[in-house]
Structure 1
Amino acid sequence: MSPALPAAVRRPARAGGSLARTRVAKAVAALLLVGLTTQVATSCSTLNGVRSPAGAREDAASAAGGAPVTPVDCRTATCVALTFDGGPSEPTPRLLDLLKREKVPATFFLQGEGHTRTYPATVRRMSEEGHEIGNHTWSHKNLTELTPDEVRAEIAPVQEDIRKATGRAPTLMRPPGGATNDEVSKIMKELGLAQILWSVTAKDFSTTDSALITKRVLDQTERDGIILLHERYAGTIPAVGRIITELRKQGYTFVTVSQLLAPARPEPGAVYRP
């Protein structure tokens, strides 16, 4: 999949405020950082379509006659979703402490092998503190290279681990590397899982420089952004506090992925990306 145009180019300006003042600068920065978004696998090009949060909201609101959304209505608020892949791990409680202190909800896409079964209490804490939990497969394999049975085997044990820890199985998943296609989408539909990609990546797996991670996120973030981070890497958690502070100054409201889509509900099998 080719990287999407910077959101600042594709969306109308927000009247007044720091968001409008920074749109041009962010568009230029996003173009310079376009290589950071190529982590989404090229196999996405075989998909019939990718849905944006804004498009999903508009369709659902029209069908419902403009029904109000609670607690945050991202049709009017300037929303962004923080997401974390590949946990839980030893540092995750420190991130949860930070998110609790800042009153920021996040969406965690959890991995199975060495994670969900190793830290079930952390999974339970995520749920109890209001965070959203999704599936990031058992062993982080490229799903487009697997047979249907192998794809299911990557999903099922993580679903069960999360259900045991929290009392409910996820309805969201993130394909490793963003690699998905129509066959994977068909299987996810059968399993009741919507696929969530991203629009912002700091490639925090390749650096321990928290200032660089922060800059990459801030340079790429636009309204309805879905930010991809990994709390297990050393530079990430120290960057998160600054990211939250700076984005709040710019007028952003932090939401989970499902809140970002509301009043739409994530549709099993569908692929969502800003």
Structure 2
Amino acid sequence: MPSRTKKMKKTGAGLRAVTMSVAAASLALALTGCTRLETTAPSAARAQPTAQARFGTVDCSEAKCIALTFDAGPSENSARLLDILKEKQVPATFFLLGKNHIEKYPELVKRMADEGHEVASHTWDHKILTRIEPEEIREELERPNKEIERLTGHRPTLMRPPQGRTNDTVHEICRELGMSEVLWSVTAKDYTTNDSALIRKRVLAQSSRDGIILLHDIYPGTVPAVPGIIDGLKKRGYVFVTVPQLLAPGTAEPGKVYRP
């Protein structure tokens, strides 16, 4: 029979584990800026097909799909990134910033759309949406939408809130504007390092089917990591798709949050 001391040690360890889990959950909720964040997985979106035709020729209910996404561009690194994606025949989803990005590199926004990538919004000025008033939220979302539509002829339907911070007010405004929010399941934290090998290693270690990879083409270590990420995941049987392709034959619904 186990001693009382051993039982107490086990109980203490269990309590510490529960406490750590609760703390982690509380931190995740704090980051969203709301008390509860309801998200929809790509597989759930696919289970609700719409009348709209499936994007492209990939059926992600059968294929091992993964979506490569880039935040906060365009930048001086984006042309090289587009060259790599074209060479590798990989589509991506770009969540673009307005100030100092869309307005500075309009030709790259056009190129992204022309080469078959999904062009979406990361707000105008990267303000944390949960900290500003509703009218400011609308402006942060509407300004890049108007510029992207002017440049590409297509109004974005997807957005990614800065730092992933969102709440019920953001959801409601997105619903009014016909936009869906897209979070992620894989992050290399490329804002903390310029080590391309480390960025590649982190992405490969975290990737799984229906994953959404978050990278930033504004950092110098990121774009050089992309060829290795693509080659490594292709060797594992992954098929790269845009976020809309990942959800098809379902479509993203305005006001909803999508995350694997």
Q: TM-score, normalised by structure 2?
A: 0.86
Deviations 1:5-58 (A, max 9, x none): xxxxxxxxxxxxxxxxxxxxxxxxxxxxxx9xx889622553451100011112
Question: Deviations for 1:123-148, whole angstroms, at most 9, x for unmatched residues?
Answer: 00000000001100011111011111
Q: Deviations over 1:194-218 (max 9, x none)?
A: 0000000001011000010001000
Q: Indicate the SS of the match to 1:232.
A: coil
**1:137 touches 1:155 (CA, 8 Å); kept in 2?**
yes
Q: Which amino acid aligns with 1:206?
A: T
Between 68-77 and 218-227, report the one with greater CA deviation: 68-77
Q: Give CA deviations for 1:87-141 in whole Å, capped at 9, x if unaligned.
A: 0011100000000000000000000110001111100000000000110001111
User: 1:23 corresponds to which residue?
Assistant: none
Residues 70, 93 of structure 2: 8 Å contact kept:
yes
* 1:137 lines up with 2:123 in the alignment: yes
Structure showing greater radius of gyration is 2
| 1:89-100 to 2 correspondences below 5 Å | 89-100=75-86
Deviation, structure 1 residue 183: 1.1
Give distance in 1, aligned partners of 2:92 and 2:207. Answer: 16
1:122 aligns with 108
Q: How many Å apart are 1:59 and its aligned residue?
A: 2.8
Q: Give the percent of matched residue pairs that are identical in Structure 1 and Structure 2.
A: 56
Residues 196-235 of structure 1 mapped to structure 2, 5 A cutoff: 196-235=182-221
- Structure-to-structure mapping, 1:140-219, within 5 angstroms: 140-219=126-205
Cα distance in 1 between the residues matched to 2:219 and 2:122: 17
Is the CA contact 2:123–2:161 (under 8 Å) kept in the aligned structure 1?
Answer: yes
- Please say if residues 41 and 180 of structure 1, whose CA atoms lie closer than 8 Å, have aligned partners that are also in contact: no
**What is aligned with 1:30?**
none
Counterparts in 2 of 1:219 and 1:45: CA distance versus 1, 3 Å: farther
Q: What is the root-mean-square deviation of aligned Cα atoms in Å?
A: 1.8
Question: Is 1:246–2:235 an aligned residue pair?
Answer: no
Secondary structure of 1:258's partner? helix
Q: How many residues were matched structurally? A: 234
Q: Are the equivalent residues in 2 in contact too, given 1:39–1:178 (CA < 8 A)? A: no
User: What code does the residue aligned with 1:165 have?
Assistant: L
Are 1:83 and 2:74 matched, yes or no? no
Unmatched 5+ stretches in structure 1: 1-34
- Check if 1:72 corresponds to 2:58: yes
